[in-house]
Amino acid sequence: MKVQYKPKRNLLGTIFQVEILQGMALTLRKLFSPPITRQYPDEKPPMYAGFRGQHALVRDPVTQDSKCIGCMRCVTVCPSRCIRIRCQQDAKGKQKVESYSIEVLRCVFCGFCVEVCPVGAVTMTELFEYASYDRESLLFDKETLLKNWDRFLEESAHDENYVNPFWRPRGVPEASLAASQRMKVPADWTIEGQFIGTSLRQPQQNGAITHTEADHA
Amino acid sequence: MQILIILLQIAALLAIVLLHVAYTTYFERKIIGHMQVRMGPMLVGWHGLLQPIADGIKSFFKEDIIPEQADKPLFLAAPIICLVTMLASLAVLPFARGWVLADINIGLLFLFAMSSLASYGIILAGWASNSKYTFLGGMRSMAQVISYEIPMGLSLVGVMMLSGSLNLTEIVTAQGTSIFSIYLFPQIIGFFVFFIAMLAETNRVPFDLPEAETELVSGYLTEYSGMRYAMFFMAEYIGMMVMASIGTVCFLGGWNGPFEIPFFPPFWFILKVYGFLFLFIWIRATLPRYRYDQLMELGWKLLIPLALLNIFLTGLFKVFT
């Protein structure tokens, strides 16, 4: 980067303090420009796809229960170890999830659990206002997580199919994705169509991944 | 009977000025907010219009904390000295022809005396609080006032020479009613020096070293709380208004305007003072603070020679016309 220096101030500029006047002109211009303040409790910020908000367990519309199969992948991948699952095998040898809890106060909101879930059971909603005065209410058990999902569906415009395509793990071939993650996504959400910044794009153009040009052509 | 009328006038002036102080703080926050692309106070009342009243009530009911190690009588007296001297200087300001509480012949000198006395309040506050931040703030205030009182006085000498009087009403009358005969044009150097010294005298940005928030917590008023803190604030804002009035009277032709407003002669005076106040706020929103040695250098090496040059030129002008 080349540093751009201002031309040296001449005597006339010093006498009339031109730089101060320029600064004053800027603030005066800004006085009449609309403020960028968002009056928060009245005006909510816009939500973008893949926002990592409150956790929820997707309620299966058929069984009215969680989709979780107790594979323990989320427990394993969780860097802050805030997920706890207890499973039991019933008489037929089928695994049944007894309890599922997320300790939100320890969660770092990395979203790994959502990415790794093979059935799309755990997800993160767009809700972010759930501050509380005690710790107990922030330890979400299975029932609370299911209720979080119901509340999210009720309050947002999303429907049952919201398990965010944004959570597709990157760079994994379509065939090796879990079935629930093989959903259609817009072109700019795929790894090829995504803008990742100039420094990362360079090797792509040199031949490592050439889908971008092919797609555009 | 005469005394009663004067008392009533004083009460009316006090009420009006204090109301102005309250709403100057509001407009300051609002204007600075919008200049920084924010909104400023928005919640108390419509667009925060009741904010200064809420602030006043709040500071009135807050606990008045006196530090254990403080020099109690001085600590208690300092804000009163500040406020009283500032209020006293309101007495000699001519708002319009005849609209003056005390039309004394040494009006300008009286104003200088009062604004110097007000800085005693600041110095005493810094000393009596017995805290390092207030002490540094007080020290800076002392140095600043001594340095800037001189160019300020000298810059107005030109005005005194041209009008031949220290009486503020006569200074305004001497400027005539035309917009081209105001002293701003013959005394442009004097006005420049006066304006910078005015900012320094009122401890405003870019010369707010006595209460530099970023380095001295709150400077000389760090240890104050509640109503006494508010008194310092009132003194500061009344000081701004008094300085703006001096500028209006001495350089901008006082209450004279392009045409006369019936029933409300001080209209142009008040408009000019508002202009000055806006300039104060505008500068505060724009400029960073001066470094201490730069402040001293500007005062002694630039403003005082400039003011002396102005006196010399005015003298030449008087001799040859």
The residue type at A160: E
**Is the CB of residue B285 less than 8 Å away from at least one CB of chain A?**
yes
Q: Which residues of B146-180 are buried (b: 16+ CB within 10 A; e: fewer)?
A: ebbbbbbbbbbbbbbbbbebbbbbbbbbbbeeeee
CATH topology of domain A55-167: Alpha-Beta Plaits (3.30.70)
Domain ranges, ordered by start, for chain A: 55-167
Question: Which of A23, A32, A35 is the closest to B286 by Cβ?
Answer: A23
Average pLDDT, stretch B99-113?
A: 86
CA distance A133 to chain B (A): 25
Check whether A173 has a pLDDT greater than 80: no
**pLDDT one-digit tens code per residue, A7-55:** 787 888 777 778 888 888 989 988 888 888 888 888 888 887 778 888 8
Please list the residues that pair with A86 across neighbouring strands. A99
Q: How far, in Å, CA of B270 to CA of B24, rounded?
A: 13
Give the list of residues 6+ apart from residue B252 with CB closer than 8 angstroms, or none: B182, B184, B272
Give the orientation angle of helix B51-61 with respect to helix B2-35, to 10 degrees. Answer: 110
Helix (H, G, I), strand (E, B) or coil at A9: coil
Using only C-alpha atoms, what is the Rg of chain B? Answer: 20
Residue A178 pLDDT class (50, 70, 90 cuts): confident
Residue B275 pLDDT class (50, 70, 90 cuts): very high
User: Which chain A residues have a beta carbon less than 8 Å from that of B285?
Assistant: 27
Considering only alpha carbons, which residue of chain B is nearest residue A25? Answer: B286
**pLDDT one-digit tens code per residue, B292-319:** 888 888 889 989 999 999 999 888 988 8
Of the candidates B291, B241, B302, B296, the residue with the CA atom closest to the CA atom of residue B270: B241
| ipTM beyond cut 0.90 | no
Residue B278 pLDDT class (50, 70, 90 cuts): very high
Q: How far, in Å, CA of A193 to CA of A201, rounded?
A: 11
**Is the CB of residue B105 less than 8 Å away from at least one CB of chain A?**
no
**pLDDT one-digit tens code per residue, B185-214:** 788 888 989 999 988 888 888 888 877 777
pLDDT computed for residue A211 by the predictor: 46
pLDDT computed for residue A79 by the predictor: 92
Q: How far, in Å, CA of A100 to CA of A87, rounded?
A: 9
Q: How many CA atoms lie within 13 A of A78 on its CB side?
A: 22
**pLDDT one-digit tens code per residue, A190-203:** 666 655 555 555 55
pTM equals 0.77
